Amino acid sequence: MGTDTQFDFVENGSVTSPLGFLACGVIAGLKKNKAPDLAMIESETECSFAATFTSNLFPAAPVQYDREICANSPKIRAVVANSGVANACTGLDGYNNAKRMAELTAGALSVPVGQVMIASTGRIGVQLPMDLIENGIREAAKSLTHNGGSSAAHAIMTTDTRPKELAVSFPVGDRIVTIGGMCKGAGMIAPKMAVAPHATMLCFLTTDADIDNALLSELLGNAVEASFNHITVDNDMSTNDTVILMANGASGAKIGKGSEAAEHFAEALGMVTEHLARSIVFDGEGVTKFVTVEVTGAASERDAELAARAIANSPLCKTAWFGCDPNWGRILAAAGYSGAVFSQENVSLDFDELPVVRGGLDAGTPESELAELMKRREFTVKIDLGEGEASATIWTSDFTYEYVKINADYHT
């Protein structure tokens, strides 16, 4: 992609690694365990921005509110996000509470209310305790720092076991551009987000590049499609999925459409979103295995994705992976009911380097060898449909006893 350039992962990288951004995480009191539950990100100057949201037909109140910001505001300055309560399926009161979150943040930061975006994650169908939210926002506005990215990443966690954040930098002329990001997500993970205005995955991205909304929207859409839209933990799409990218131009590096710098920005953004997307699967609820499902030889991209998603979301496949059971019939069955068109006698299957199926039949590798391979923390299921040149990759996980326990106990 263009000439070679140097991409560097920033040590202890976060959303405050790019110039001109502040962040924090505070305890508002929404979580029973009194862990940090309200995060705030602010830019010292106005930002160009782009966002993608869930395509769920029950969009949460913050998603509805943010879509309006995308339609009406050319710039933003801040994002505030709470965990513990999703503010989804909460009706007009929920929408008014979402709007109130933005108003409170705008007032505390002395910025226009139309320049504040919001996000929520947690339990669905519960109204936000606005007294706690109000106090939390006031506390957060006083706690913003240039090294507060990590505390913000902790504050958006729900069933996550660890924060997920990083930053990548690269040169543009004599300037250095940095892209920082943080996300949360461990369950209800099967995003399929659309670029505006067209348990949850939230992602917040910051950059000090000078880049306009239209190009940001194009690049973010491509990056999200190639990363977050290709992960699944449990095939449950959240009501709250949100990705927001803010660009404040503080590096002085201007990036225009069609430029080599834009190619490098796209590559760096892809590095950040792919890393964060994979980290969500690694930290999925109860997950012990990270499984890449790689479909090749499909007659069309649609067929490739249908087969990959059917395998990646199959409870029978996912429980077999947990048990290190090389029951490859479940994989072929999932491909067979996926809607993809192929002939069984053309199908090949491999687990990493080991042949499993050839011509639709057992390839002869001893089950003991396959079972030993499946003890790996990470492995790839490769299925070639033998019909064409199209391919698709989905990152997924196993289903475990712990997943059931977490989700059986989550409400109470």
Residues 243 and 193 sit within 8 Å (Cβ to Cβ)? yes
Residue 192, pLDDT above cutoff 80: no
Residues 151, 73: one domain? yes
Residues 217, 306: one domain? no
When pLDDT is averaged across residues 250-268 and rounded to a whole number, the result is 98
Residues 85, 105: one domain? yes
- Cα(340)–Cα(331) distance, integer angstroms: 13
In a domain, 2, yes or no: no
Last residue of some domain: 265, 282, 299? 282
Residues 277, 302: one domain? no
Specify the higher pLDDT residue, 231 or 146.
146
Per-residue pLDDT reduced to its tens digit, 316-365: 999 999 999 999 999 999 999 999 999 999 999 999 999 999 999 999 99
- Residue 70, token pair as written in the block: 């995308």
Boundaries of domain holding 46: 8-282
Last residue of some domain: 282, 314, 331? 282
In a domain, 394, yes or no: yes
In a domain, 3, yes or no: no
Last residue of some domain: 254, 282, 310? 282
Specify the higher pLDDT residue, 88 or 1.
88
Which residues does 57 contact at the CB level (< 8 Å), separation at least 6? none
Residues 378, 278: one domain? no
Residues 347 and 366 sit within 8 Å (Cβ to Cβ)? no
In a domain, 340, yes or no: yes
In a domain, 1, yes or no: no
Residues 20, 48: one domain? yes
pLDDT at 196: 42
In a domain, 118, yes or no: yes
- Cα(307)–Cα(246) distance, integer angstroms: 35
Lowest average pLDDT, out of 29-38, 66-75, 93-102, 369-378, goes to: 29-38
- Cα(307)–Cα(394) distance, integer angstroms: 10
- Cα(291)–Cα(395) distance, integer angstroms: 6
Residues 163, 137: one domain? yes
pLDDT category, 123, cuts 50, 70, 90? confident
Residues 117 and 68 sit within 8 Å (Cβ to Cβ)? no
Residues 259, 157: one domain? yes
CATH code of 52's domain: 3.60.70.12
In a domain, 264, yes or no: yes
In a domain, 48, yes or no: yes
Catalytically active residues are: 200
Domain count, the chain: 2
How far from 333 is each of 57, 347, 355, 404, CA to CA, in Å?
A: 30, 12, 18, 24
- Cα(409)–Cα(278) distance, integer angstroms: 26
Residues 254, 388: one domain? no
Residues 406 and 286 sit within 8 Å (Cβ to Cβ)? yes
User: What is the three-class DSSP state of 353?
Assistant: coil
Residues 184, 295: one domain? no
Residues 144, 23: one domain? yes
Per-residue pLDDT reduced to its tens digit, 211-237: 999 999 999 999 998 888 888 765 556
- Residue 310, token pair as written in the block: 């059917």
Residues 154, 273: one domain? yes
Residue 199, pLDDT above cutoff 50: no
Q: Cα 225–230–233 angle (5° rounding)?
A: 140
CATH code of 370's domain: 3.10.20.340
Residue 2, pLDDT above cutoff 80: no
